[in-house]
Amino acid sequence: MQEAIRVSGLTKRYKRLTAVDHLNLQVHEGELLSLLGVNGAGKTTTVRMLCGLSRPSEGDAWIEGHSVLHEGAKVKPLIGISPQETAVAPNLTVRENLRLMAGVYGLRGEEGKEAVAKAVEEFGLREVLSRRAGRLSGGWQRRLSLAMALLGGPKVLFLDEPTLGLDVLARRELWHLILSLKGRVTTVLTTHYMEEAEALSDRIAILRSGRLLLTDSAAGVCERAGTADFSEAFARIVTGEVGL
């Protein structure tokens, strides 16, 4: 399997705090990897470094073979991001938000129209196409945010807590959309919802205090922790009840 992301010794320090500590990781093409950890584990900081939003203090990462540290301009067209908070232009309609992203990724007229039409179909946005993004419900905004992240045709997608604050139904709808991306787009997802990580991930990476504790499938994590319940397995690992 080809490598889409390679992380080598990635470290981020803020004065006395080490948010991410010598992280080593590989993500294969088309794979969905979830980053799990309690608050302050370094999940969002890792995503920010991989997206070029934050400069590593040490180490480097390569997206499709391009260094995030030295080849930012080559990395940016290859990635899409759906940040933790809903990142839409509130006074623009859904259609205008999508067109904006098509323009931002430099898509030509017809190419841009096709990309927007495809996103509208794929994410079922037709019924809200003319509504202002700021007036949509949280679920619709997240759906739009995801569609915007995919509009430039990224090879690698970063989803930072994509279902945070959504109700059960909206979360399930978003899960279906994320699952439909598997195999097509390499995805790195951060989440606090254990059932989400279990349902969506090919592999799970568990972080604690900026350090990678393990990378395995959900079943593998459970096996290592000696329990069939994934949430319990996670708790045992991050609290150190289970030696790794």
Partner 1 sequence: MSANARRTLSLCGRSALEILRDPLNLLFGLGFPLALLCLLHAIQLRAPVPLFELQHLTPGIAVFGLSFMALFSATLVSKDRGSAFLQRLYASPLTPLDFILGYTLPLLPLCLMQTLICYACACLLGLPLSGGLWLASLSSLPTGLFFVALGLFCGSLLSDKQVGGLCGALLTNLTAWLSGAWFDPSLAGGAFEKIASALPFLHAVEWARALLGGGGAALHGLVTCLYAALALLLAVWAFLYQMKRQ
Give me the residues that bind partner 1 (CB under 8 A), please: 51-53, 73, 76-77, 79, 81-89, 91-92, 96, 99-108, 132, 148-149, 152, 158
What token pair was written down for 160? 């930072």
Q: Whose Cβ is closer to partner 1: residue 111's or residue 121's?
A: 111
Residue with smaller CB distance to partner 1, 58 or 85? 85
**What are the backbone angles phi and psi of residue 39, rounded to the nearest 5°?**
-55, 135
Q: Which residues contact 101 (CB under 8 A, 6 or more apart)?
A: 148, 151, 152
Task: Considering the complex, state which of residue 79 and residue 237 has its C-beta at the smaller distance from partner 1.
Answer: 79
Of 99 and 203, nearer to partner 1 (C-beta) is 99
Which CB sits closer to partner 1, 37 or 152?
A: 152
Report in angstroms how near the CB of residue 103 gets to partner 1 at its nearest.
3
CB of 1 to partner 1, least distance (A): 26
Nearer residue to partner 1 within complex by CB, 105 or 209: 105
Closest approach of Cβ 171 to partner 1, in Å? Answer: 19
Cβ of residue 178: shortest distance to partner 1, in angstroms? 17
Minimal distance in Å, beta carbon 106 to partner 1?
A: 3
- Transcribe the chain into DSSP letters: --EEEEEEEEEEEETTEEEEEEEEEEEETT-EEEEE-STTSSHHHHHHHHTTSS--SEEEEEETTEETTT-HHHHGGGEEEE-SS----TTSBHHHHHHHHHHHTT--HHHHHHHHHHHHHHTT-GGGTTSBGGGS-HHHHHHHHHHHHHTT--SEEEEESTTTT--HHHHHHHHHHHHTTTTTSEEEEE-S-HHHHHHH-SEEEEEETTEEEEEE-HHHHHHHHT-S-HHHHHHHHHTTSS--
* C-alpha–C-alpha distance, residues 199 and 162, integer Å: 14
At closest approach, how far in Å is the CB of 190 from partner 1? 14
Tell me whether residue 135 or residue 172 sits nearer to partner 1 (CB atom): 135
